Structure 1
Amino acid sequence: MPRTRPPAGSGDTPAAASPDATASPDAPPAADAGPDTPAGDSIGRGAVPLTASAVLVGAGNYGLSLMLVHLLPAPQFAVYSALSSVLLSVGTLAGATVPWVLAREVAASAPGSARRRLSVRSCLWLALGLSLLCSAAACGAVASYAGPGPLAGLAAACLMIWLNSVGAGYLQGCRRFVSLAGLRVAEVAVRIVVTVAAVLAGWGSAGAIGAFAIGAAVTSVAGLLALQGDLTDRRSAETTARERAAQRAGLWRHAGTVGGIQVLACVLFTLDVVVAAAVQGGSADLAPYQALLVLARVPLFLSTALATVVFPRLVPARAPGRGPGRSEAFRVAVRLHWIIGATVTAVIATCPDEVAGLVLPQHYAASAALLPPLVLAGFASATIAVMTVVFQAWGPSRPVIVTLSAACLLGGAGYALTSAHLPALAWSSATVTGAVAVLGTVLARRRVAGLGPAAGAAGPLVAGAAGAGVLMLLRPHPVLWAVAALAVALGALYAARPRRRRPGPYRVLHLGFEDPLQPGAGGGSIRTHEINRRFAVRGVEVTVLCAPWPGSTVTVRDGVRYLPLPTRLGPLVHKRFAPQLAYYAAVLTRLGLLVRRHDPDVVVEEFGVPFSSVCVPHLTRRPVVGVVQALAAEAKAREYRLPFDVVERRGVASHSWLVAVSDGLGAELGRRNPAAHIQVVPNGVDPAAFSRCTVPRGDHLLYLGRLETASKGLDLLLRAYARVAPVVTGDLHIAGHGPHAHRLRALADELGISDRVHWLGHIDGPDRFDLLASARLVCVPSRYETFGMVAAEALATGTPVLAFDIPNLCDLVTDDVGVRVPPGDLDAYAKALAALATDPAHCAALGANGPARVRHLDWERAAEAQLALYRRVSEGASQAVNPSPRPPRQH
């Protein structure tokens, strides 16, 4: 039966102890999703309204400031400007703490549950407490120059801003991003209207500051109304005091984690301006630097929207652990960040002075030389904002908190030294944030399976650098630059587009490595064909890419299309290893073209020798499943003295979804890649094998399989048989073909048993089972096996098996159906061979138990389980990428 090993838990979630932990980790949050966002919404679709709201909010604030310059007297505008800066800091702090803490808890709990009610209430009290502290601190900071009216407006605004953060966090956790974006725009719109009305009424700076409180109050009420249902819903059973204490402790632990990372990141993003302002004593020389940050921070605004959208998706959905579905969501967000962020950075960094002057006053645009380092710092900050989301959702938080703390300390010192020279300050900011972004990317890559060695950044960054080069050449010509910038932006949007599928049957592109008709092909290719031909019966369109071999052509067998890759290899097809190397080279260079041509729902990478995997998840956007029948790279590395094992480790780590053919192999894959979802789907046995009980049984011994020594150990069998040949009557029959056939024949001659060894060649089909059933004993001398298909088929025919006691075989060849001896012990193998060959009654008794031992191995059930996994992977990726879910295909 198929067995599934669940994904490893993050070790940093309280959901396991929660009474709400009832749903699957990868289940779409149907109840949590608000009316604005269906369960299958895409990350891009959620980020668009948030990005648009950020643009509108920024434009509104900028326009309001310009308007107040003309409406307020200079002294009152100075007071307004100072107090609005304080409120900006308060808003940044509020937006970086409570919303993210509450969003995590809302995403991890069921609607109306005790845990959700406790989280909402706790965050309300937390917001009220922090609002009082911020009000006192803010009023104390400006009391020397602000009158009673502005101070009252400042205190009220602090309170409303913190309350507003509670509703924002709730909407974020429910993935109601359209509503969240609408509230942000509504707050600014109300504030602009109230501010203008108050100033025109003669209330001055006090009225302008009070407008902050009124705008935040309106959206606070709307946000609190949105969460009222969960706050008062009592459908869930009440929890005990101990459970509430445990939930509250988990909430505060996550509040410290999420809030700490968010606050440190915000400090790092603004530290250059804060330190420079302190060192220069508020000098106006810093104004161009601050003004250019309006453009330079655009990548940060965009990635903050992405982080806001993806964060609730990463949070364990009412169950512990981090599933591959959430890993896929994060990979989609990272990919969008690289593509869009690199493009925006290239455009802004090369912006001509004439274009910058349309956004900034002319005397600020004259300092546009600061834009390249500032926008690089903005892009690095955006990368930090995206990468740290993983640790806020899954943990561990310590590496990120330590990194951000150290960066703030070192960056503060560096900014203090360079603050007198603005270009040096800008490049210092780019250096510090860039270093943190690189380190954060490395940490995130280790945390998320399949993210890739460069976290998917290589292609977008190279494209962004090329676009920047073209735009820099056109910078002296603003019109041409604008046309080129538009073309670059359209190219980025095309690259970031959601994947669209053409209608048709469910399609599988299987990178099968080996054709089962190829001379020397092993049991792995037989398994591949047995599974895939049953897919074809179910209406699935399967294309198997395999290495070419002499006489190979594009064929369709049992409904499965086999495509040699490359199709034409010429004389090299007869050279040893050349077809395999050509196959891997073709996969690395042509997979994108093949995916576009075949348009598969899922790409399957069959692990093959000598290095198992070529990291296919890094080569395509389509969902990928790795099928692992062997991990032989370490043995091949010792045999050929090449680092195949290094490539194999990278390949295993690149996959989020893996199929193993045995429990032992599944456990090994789980050890190497704890973040991956691993499903054990054992091989099947053809029903025809169980019907060979009437075949006459002889006294000969049989080996069936690939003629090879490194793994199959046929040399050991020949040496063992040579020792016992004088005392046994049965000859040794060897069926199969393989790379070491001539070497093994020579060994038989050398051992003097060539007259007792019969080489039968390749035998397949029904003759295979007749051959197994006719033998007294089947010898399996393998040094290592991943399943042991020949052993299973032998047992199905009622023939006992002699094998070494190695992993995977030891589970199949038990004491009641065969004999196992210590691995590599030639004397023990020879002794057992002699005992069984001369005791037909014992062999018959062991063989009689064989069919019942392997009766559960069924190809139909294996194919059904594997196809169900493929569908789950492809449909999960579709939910993470597509703007709207498409209906499942019929089979």
Structure 2
Amino acid sequence: MSGDHPLTILIAADTYPPDVNGAAVFSHRLATAMANRGHTVHVVAAREVNGPGIVEQRVEATVHRLKSHSQPTASTLRLCLPWEAKPDIGRILDEVKPDVVHVQCHYMVGQAAVQEAARRGIRTIATNHFMPENLDPFLPFPKWFKRIVARNSWRDMGKIMGKAAVVTTPTPLAARAMMRHARLRKVLPLSNGINAANYQLEAGENVERKPWPMVLFVGRLAVEKNVNVLIEALGLTTSSPAPHLTVIGSGEQREPLERRAAELGLSDRVHFTGHVDDSALRTAYLQADVFCQPGTAELQSLVTLEALSASTPVVLADAMALPHLVDDGVNGYLFEPGNAANLARKLDTILALDPEGRARMGAAGLQKAEQHSEAKSMDIFEALYRGADADDFLPG
């Protein structure tokens, strides 16, 4: 598959826009980047509503939506039943005849795509955006049973992704976890990437600031994001004038979070926007005085990279992959997960900075984001599609 001829690429994703989450955003950016490089891109993903499978013609790709089913514990997750997904994916592979299949998860769509591609001898790349523990909030079972589910999920990850020519994940921490728990021999850490220039002020551009100090959260409103801790921390801040919190995103926790803000007397300082378009999101990053990610299950956190790209200081939970994005006291701070008082102190520290100090911290954040160049990541994925091996990019 060497050379520079255009490829036919099939991306298999359990989640894809209009879904709003890190894996969906990455899959869309991947499809867009490969289409812009002249390749023919197809995406296989769950249909976001009930009904038979359909085909959508989008700017970046032909999207094959598989029949899916709602499930009771999370309205944002769709289930593709194996006996329905496998024959449909097999048929799509026979029609499209891709040079490479790139799966984004080992669940449902990803599993069926790996199996059907292997039957046809099609080169497969597997990227993992998801830790089995991320399922915990959606499983109405005791902790001991969830641990069994997680162990089985790790085992399945190794069995399924082990069939791929190359396995990648966004961070070294995630790669080590996959090699340890899924017993995968080799996992290439490869950042999802960010185009930092997209989030910088253009020449002559001016973004109107809020009339109060602005703390920003962006993401799904899910249990593991711990937005409740951020709301509690807001009430403990001592900065003057009092900071407000803008919460961008949707999810099953919105109503409980709104109730919690009301209980704490913070309804007038916590602003829930729901999902916003890319332009409004960019503006929010540029308006914010500080960005906070209190989640404890982040494999990389694209929204943190976006905030850093906008030169916005960050306060992140000291958990999972988030510490890789912070040089403490340089471009932001880490806080003890779940500790609202500790988080409040870190927010106050940044809000107390003078304009020059905040600008220095923002510039350091931009420098950190630029280490995660989207163009470099896409170059490597394209090389993997053409036959490169993980050893070509692993250090040493």
Q: Deviations over 1:503-562 (max 9, x none)?
A: x952222211112223xx112211111111111122222211112224996323333122
Structure 1 Cα separation of the partners of residues 100 and 188 of structure 2: 16
Q: Name the structure 2 match of 1:598.
A: 96
TM alignment of 1:699-718, pairs within 5 A: 699-710=213-224, 712-718=225-231
1:652 equivalent in alignment to 2:165? no
| Equivalent position of 2:14 in the other structure | 513
Question: If each structure's strand is expressed as a fraction of its own residues, which one has the higher value?
Answer: 2
Q: Distance in 2 between matches of 1:736 and 1:577?
A: 14
Note if contact 1:690-1:796 (Cα within 8 Å) is conserved in structure 2.
Answer: yes
Describe the shift of the 1:612–1:847 C-alpha distance in structure 2 as closer, same or farther (beyond 3 A).
farther
The answer to whether the Cα contact below 8 Å between 1:653 and 1:672 also exists between their aligned partners in 2 is no
Match of 1:689 in 2: 199
Residue 802 of structure 1: CA displacement?
Answer: 0.6
Q: Aligned to 1:819, which of 319, 322, 333?
A: 333
The residue that corresponds to 1:624 in the other structure is: 124
1:259-304 CA distances to partner (integer Å, 9 max, x unpaired)?
xxxxxxxxxxxxxxxxxxxxxxxxxxxxxxxxxxxxxxxxxxxxxx
**Alignment counterpart, residue 839 of structure 1, candidates 350, 353, 373:** 353
Shift in Å at residue 859 of structure 1? 1.9
Partner of 2:370: 855
Sort the Cα spacing of 1:787 and 1:849 in 2 relative to 1 into closer, same or farther, 3 A.
same
Deviation at 1:836, TM superposition (A): 2.4
1:369-389 Cα deviation digits (max 9, x unpaired): xxxxxxxxxxxxxxxxxxxxx
1:559 partnered with 2:72: no
Q: Which deviates more from structure 2 when the two are superposed, residues 508-517 or residues 843-852?
A: 843-852
> How far off is 1:589 after superposition?
4.6
Q: Distance in 2 between matches of 1:554 and 1:744?
A: 37
List aligned pairs for 1:472-491, cutoff 5 A: none
CA contact (8 A) 1:662 1:786 kept: yes
Q: Tell me how far apart the structure 2 counterparts of residues 612 and 782 of structure 1 sit (CA, whole Å).
A: 26
Q: Distance in 2 between matches of 1:715 and 1:613?
A: 32
Measure how far apart 1:594 and its partner are: 2.6
Give the match's secondary structure for 1:554. Answer: strand
Which residue of structure 2 lines up, in the alignment, with residue 128 of structure 1?
Answer: none
- How far off is 1:834 after superposition? 2.7
| Cα deviation, residue 573, structure 1 | 9.2
Distance of aligned partners of 1:584 and 1:839 in 2 relative to their CA distance in 1, 3 Å threshold: farther
Could you tell me whether the CA contact under 8 Å between 1:550 and 1:574 is conserved in 2? no
Q: Does 1:791 align with 2:308?
A: no
Change (3 A) 1:623 1:586: farther
Question: 2:174: which partner in 1?
Answer: 665
Instruction: Label 1:726 to 1:765 Cα distance change in 2 as closer, same or farther (>3 A).
Output: closer
User: 8 Å contact 2:74–2:252 — kept in the other structure?
Assistant: no
Superposition deviation, residue 624 in structure 1: 2.2
Distance of aligned partners of 1:608 and 1:673 in 2 relative to their CA distance in 1, 3 Å threshold: closer
Q: Which residue of 2 aligns with 1:723?
A: 236
Matches within 5 A, 1:127-206: none
Contact preservation (8 Å) 2:247, 2:273: yes
Residues 509 and 600 in structure 1, CA contact (< 8 A), matched pair in contact too: yes
Give the CA deviation at 1:704. 1.4
1:617 Cα deviation after fit: 3.6
**Partner AA of 2:84 in structure 1:** A
> Structure 1 residues 586, 577: CA separation in 2 closer, same or farther (over 3 Å shift)?
farther
Say if 1:685 and 1:745 are closer, same or farther in 2 by CA, change over 3 A: same
Unmatched 5+ residue regions in structure 2? 390-396
User: Cα offset for 1:635?
Assistant: 4.2
Distance 2:236 2:76 in 1: 38
**Alignment match of 1:614 (pick from 78, 97, 111):** 111
| Distance apart, 1:733 and its partner CA | 1.0
For 1:53-132, list aligned pairs within 5 A: none
Q: Residue 754 of structure 1 aligns with which residue?
A: 267
Whether the aligned pair in 2 keeps the contact of 1:628 and 1:660 (CA below 8 Å) is yes
Q: Which amino acid is the alignment partner of residue 785 of structure 1?
A: E
Paired residues for 1:328-347 under 5 Å = none
- One-letter amino acid of the structure 2 residue matched with residue 531 of structure 1: L
Q: Summarize the Cα distance change of 1:644–1:871 in structure 2 as closer, same or farther, 3 Å threshold.
A: farther
In structure 2, give the amino acid aligned to 1:846: M
**Partner of 2:393 in structure 1?**
none
Shift of 1:578: 9.1
- 2:199 partner SS: helix
What is the CA-CA distance between 1:767 and the residue it aligns to? Answer: 2.6
Deviation of the 1:753 alpha carbon? 0.9
Tell me: CA distance 1:785–1:650, structure 2 relative to 1, closer, same or farther (3 Å).
Answer: same
Q: What amino acid is the match of 1:857?
A: H
String of CA shifts for 1:105-156, please: whole Å, max 9, x gaps: xxxxxxxxxxxxxxxxxxxxxxxxxxxxxxxxxxxxxxxxxxxxxxxxxxxx
Q: Secondary structure at the match of 1:732?
A: strand
1:802 aligned residue (315, 321, 332) = 315
Q: Which has the higher contact order (CA 8 A, sep 6+)?
A: 2
Partner letter of residue 793 of structure 1? E
CA RMSD in angstroms comes to 3.0
Instruction: Report the alpha carbon displacement of residue 742 of structure 1 after superposing the two structures with TM.
Output: 1.9
Q: CA deviation at 1:757?
A: 0.8
- Counting matched residue pairs gives 363
1:860-871 to structure 2, matched below 5 A, reads 860-871=375-386
Q: Quote the offset at 1:603 in angstroms.
A: 2.0
SS of the equivalent of 2:319 reads coil
Mark the CA change 1:673 to 1:736 in structure 2 (over 3 Å): closer, same or farther: closer
Q: Deviations along 1:650-702, whole A, 9 cap, x unmatched?
A: 22233232111111112222224555442222122232113358434442111
Distance in 2 of aligned mates of 1:525 and 1:716: 26
Shift of 1:817: 0.3
- The alignment's TM-score, normalised by the length of structure 1, stands at 0.38
- The structure with the largest helix share of the pair is 1
1:432-489: CA deviations, max 9, x gaps? xxxxxxxxxxxxxxxxxxxxxxxxxxxxxxxxxxxxxxxxxxxxxxxxxxxxxxxxxx
Letter in 2 for 1:653: K
Q: TM-score, normalised by structure 2?
A: 0.81
How far has the Cα of 1:588 moved from its partner? 3.8
CA positional deviation for 1:840: 4.4
The 1:725–1:547 alpha-carbon spacing in structure 2 relative to 1, beyond 3 Å, is: farther
CA–CA distance in structure 2, aligned partners of residues 555 and 790 of structure 1: 27
Q: 1:725 to 1:513 in 2, by over 3 A?
A: farther
Deviation at 1:786, TM superposition (A): 0.7
Please tell me the residue identity of whatever aligns with 2:371: H
Counterpart residue type for residue 688 of structure 1: N
How much identity, in percent, do the aligned residues show? Answer: 22
What secondary structure sits across from 2:34 in the alignment? helix
- In the alignment, the residues of structure 2 paired with residue 868 and residue 857 of structure 1 have an alpha-carbon distance, to the nearest angstrom, of 17
Q: 1:675 to 1:534 in 2, by over 3 A?
A: same
Residue 613 of structure 1: how far off its partner (Å): 5.7
Alpha carbons of structure 1 residues 559 and 525: separation in structure 2 relative to 1, 3 Å: same
CA contact (8 A) 1:549 1:574 kept: no
User: Which structure 1 segments of 5+ residues have no match?
Assistant: 1-503, 875-891
Counterpart Cα distance in 1 of 2:322 and 2:83 = 34
- How far apart, CA to CA, are the structure 2 residues paired with 1:505 and 1:823? 46
The corresponding residue for 1:739 is 252
Amino acid at match of 2:247: I
Task: Give the conservation status (yes or no) of the 8 Å contact 2:106–2:161.
Answer: no
Q: 1:558 to 1:658 in 2, by over 3 A?
A: same
Q: Within 1, Cα distance between the matches of 2:254 and 2:266?
A: 15
The letter for the 2-side match of 1:799 is T
Partner of 1:581: 79
Q: Which residue of 2 aligns with 1:272?
A: none
Q: Which has the larger radius of gyration?
A: 1
Q: Which residue of 1 aligns with 2:394?
A: none
